[in-house]
Homo-oligomer: A and B are copies of this chain.
Amino acid sequence: MVQADPSGRSRRDCGCIWSRINLDFVRIFLLWFVIVFYTLFGAAVFSALERPSELEAHCKWNRQLAEFVQDHQVPLEDLRELLGHYEGAIAAGIQMEPRTPRWDFSGAFYFVATVVSTIGFGMAAPATLNGKIFLIFYGLIGCATTLLFYNLFLERMITLITFLTRRCRKQKQRTKLSKKHIVSHLNTQPENGDGLEEDWKPSVYYVTLILATVTLLVNCGASGLYSTMEDWSYPESMYFCFVAFSTMGFGDMVSGQKAHYEARWVYQIANSLMIILGVSCTYSLFSVTAIIIKQMLNWVLSKLFSLHCCRSQGCCSVAGLKVKEPADQQIQNTSNHPGICHVVKASHPCKCASTAVETVCQSLDTANSCPTFEHEIRDSEKLPKCDAEKEVFSAVGKNCHRHHHLQEDMRTVKLSNQQQQDININAKPIL
Contacts of A130 in B (CB 8 A): 49
A106–B112 Cα distance when bound, in Å, is 32
What DSSP secondary structure best describes chain A's contact surface? helix
Question: In the bound complex, how far is the Cα of B36 from the Cα of A109, in angstroms?
Answer: 10
Residue in B121, B144, B198 whose beta carbon sits within 8 Å of that of A286 in the complex: B144
CA A134 to CA B78, docked complex, whole Å: 41
- Min CB gap A187→B, angstroms: 17
A287 within 8 A of B: yes
Q: Contact check: which of B135, B141, B153 meets A242 at CB < 8 Å?
A: B135
Q: Is there a chain B Cβ closer than 8 Å to A120's Cβ? A: yes
| CB-CB nearest in chain B for A393 | B386
Q: Which residues of B contact A119 (CB under 8 A)?
A: 248
Known: A47-B105, A102-B54, A286-B147. A118 touches B248 (CB 8 A): yes
**Residue A89 is within 8 A (CB to CB) of chain B in the complex:** yes
Is A365 part of the binding interface, using a Cβ–Cβ cutoff of 8 Å?
no
Bound-state CA distance A155–B413 (Å) is 9
The answer to whether the Cβ of A363 comes within 8 Å of any Cβ in the partner chain is no
Given contacts A103-B46, A404-B198, A412-B430, contact A94 B151 (CB under 8 A): no
A133 touches B235 (CB 8 A): yes
User: What does the 1/0 interface line of A113-141 toward B look like (CB < 8 Å)?
Assistant: 11110111110111111111111101111
In the bound complex, CA of A269 to CA of B132 (Å): 27
User: Which of B92, B162, B167 is A54 in contact with, Cβ under 8 Å?
Assistant: B92
Flag if A405 contacts B194 (CB, 8 Å). Answer: yes
Find chain B residues with CB under 8 A from A156 CB.
24-25, 28
Task: Provide the residues of chain B in CB contact with A149, threshold 8 Å.
Answer: 28, 31-32, 35
A147 surroundings in chain B (CB, below 8 A): 286-287, 290, 424
Closest to A39 in B: B112
Q: With an 8 A cutoff between CB atoms, is A61 at the interface?
A: yes
Question: Does A345 lie at the interface of the complex (its beta carbon under 8 Å from any beta carbon of B)?
Answer: no
Interface code A403-415, partner B: CB below 8 Å = 1, 0 otherwise?
0110011001101
Chain B: CB-nearest residue to A215: B140
Q: Within the assembled complex, what's the spacing in Å between the Cα atoms of A88 and B96?
A: 11
Give min CB distance, A257 to chain B, whole Å: 13
CB distance from A309 to the nearest CB of B (A): 23
Q: What's the nearest-Cβ distance from chain B to residue A57, in Å?
A: 3
Of B49, B289, B412, B429, the residue contacting A131 (CB under 8 A) is B49
Residue A261 at the chain B interface, CB threshold 8 Å? no
Instruction: From A28, A249, A417, name the one whose CB has the most chain B CB atoms within 10 angstroms.
Output: A249
Q: Beta-carbon contacts of A141-159 to B below 8 Å, as 1s and 0s?
A: 1111111110111011011
Q: Which of A13-21, A79-87, A333-341, A347-355 contacts B (4 or more CB under 8 A)?
A: A79-87
**B54–A101 CB distance below 8 A:** yes
B145 in contact with A31 (CB, 8 Å): yes
A108 at the B interface (CB under 8 A): yes
Known contacts: A132-B236, A235-B132, A420-B426. The answer to whether A40 contacts B109 by CB under 8 A is yes
Q: Is A90 an interface residue (CB 8 A)?
A: yes
Q: Is A364 an interface residue (CB 8 A)?
A: no
- Tell me, in angstroms, the Cα distance from A138 to B48 when the chains sit together: 15
Is A183 part of the contact surface with B, judged by Cβ < 8 Å?
A: no
11 A-B pairs whose Cβ atoms sit less than 8 Å apart in the complex = A28-B156, A46-B134, A47-B104, A53-B92, A53-B103, A54-B101, A54-B103, A61-B85, A191-B404, A194-B405, A422-B422
8 nearest A-B pairs in the assembled complex, by CB-CB distance: A120-B248, A57-B92, A122-B250, A144-B289, A43-B109, A125-B252, A61-B89, A47-B108
Contacts A39-B109, A54-B102, A147-B286 known; 20 new A-B pairs at CB < 8 A = A24-B155, A31-B148, A31-B149, A38-B145, A42-B116, A43-B108, A43-B111, A51-B101, A54-B92, A57-B93, A61-B86, A125-B250, A143-B286, A144-B293, A151-B420, A248-B249, A249-B249, A415-B427, A416-B430, A423-B426
